[in-house]
A and B are shown apart, each in its own frame.
Chain A
Amino acid sequence: MQFFTDNFPLLRDAFLTTLGLSLLAGLLALVLGTVLAAMRVSPIPPLRGLATFYVETFRNTPLTVVFFFIIFGLPQIDFVVSFFVGAVVSVGMYTAAFVAEALRSGINAVGPGQAEAARAIGLTFGQSLREIVLPQAFRTVVPPLGNVWIAMVKNTSIAAGFATTELAATLPRLANANAGDILLILLAVVVGYMLITVPSAYGIHRIERRVAILR
């Protein structure tokens, strides 16, 4: 137990960094992903094209490369962000592509009659998306969005390579100092991630049951 008491502040701070990184990146991904999904189904071709370009670019680029671009590429054009903000933006923008695709599948699953009825009572395209289509789409994509969220929480570990001391970053540091406790160190880090992902899985299941639409 000596190991834990000695390193508790480091592990706690690292856990909170991973949690904060996950929540902020998740929020960014959800908002940006929703906008992208709306753009992809909009009647305006340039918006559709832009969103498709975004999704294909980020979905097909390794997350590490996105980090490189945000943290080392953007300063080349005098746009410097802190390592933590850079990590939030990288993970958030990358994950937004996956959120958009999950949401788009949900939008496609909403019957065309729903949008027609919305238009028939005089709602504009934006209103029918907000009031009718997206609320139903979100309900059907809770399970895949849950997958995206859990994958994203684990993807935040890439930030370890870019000077953010989150959970994964403590691994080499603690291992160097406590060579005899490798298994304990691994356990501590894995439990840290599980403290986020296991309750998430439970929460996702609860949300899924609560918002299910009777059809």
Chain B
Amino acid sequence: MTERPTGEPLVRLSGVNKWYGELHVLQDIDLSIDRGEVVVVIGPSGSGKSTLCRTINRLEAIESGEITIDGQRLPEEGKELARLRADVGMVFQSFNLFAHKTILENVTLGPIKVRKQSKADAEKRARELLDRVGVGHQADKVPAQLSGGQQQRVAIARALAMDPKVMLFDEPTSALDPEMINEVLDVMTSLARDGMTMVVVTHEMGFARRAANRVVFMDAGRIVESAVPETFFTAPSSERAKDFLSKILNH
């Protein structure tokens, strides 16, 4: 891909609405994410933040509105959608490593099957990525033999192997034991420093302060507030955000 010099956002959601039956989970969402920007989405549970994250690679379909990635509208299904998803990395709360494949195979599958790389090239790159996230020596094990923190770092390597334009993180540390959270956040922080465009749904306020360019606060399916971390954490403008922050920051 050639870099576009224009200030056009890499990801743009406009007028996005989604319902689960009667429940209006996403209400008129407008959000633009620039190249290299790190956006952290926070909010109480049930606010729609995970759903928002999952609409960006259409793991969740939307009922109305439009989502574009790098100027291209999200295809509805089929091979076009698969091709677009290959450019959007995703890291799940529950890791979702392929249980019957080794760590190395988890990382090489996409490059071989989707990018049509040779096995040798894919393995070379996969080993580099696994070293980068600190699990290079585990390459021949299967996922269940690794700790949660290690599995999540493998999941990040698996997504990076596709050379994505943007990385989505859906509560990447919520299923981890406390002592493993930092090893994953450190990898994410270094990714952010390297200029990766990231959308991160998380409850880790320390990470938001440290790595985010912007914090988006959601409540009841709406984006209530969007601000730089410093402003958001010290002087939130909405009552709802003040209330939320007082509950999570006062202990």
A interface list, Cβ under 8 A from B: 43, 111, 113-114, 116-124, 127, 131-132, 135-136, 139, 213-215
Contact = CB atoms under 8 A, between A and B. Distances in A.
Given A119-B82, A120-B59, A114 B144 contact: no
A139 B100 CA distance: 9
B105 to A, nearest CB: 10
B98 A118 contact: yes
B99 interface: yes
Contacts of B162: 121-122
Interface string B88-110: 11101010111110000000011
Interface in B130-171: 142-145, 155, 158-159, 162
Contacts, number: 77
Contacts of B235: none
A124 B79 contact: yes
B113 A114 contact: no
B203 interface: no
Contacts of A113: 92, 94, 96
Contacts of A136: 99-100
Contact of A116 (B83, B96, B143, B144): B96
18 contacts: A113-B94, A116-B92, A117-B155, A120-B59, A121-B85, A121-B110, A121-B158, A121-B159, A121-B162, A122-B87, A123-B114, A124-B82, A127-B114, A131-B98, A131-B113, A139-B100, A213-B144, A214-B144
B179 interface: no
A140 to B, nearest CB: 10
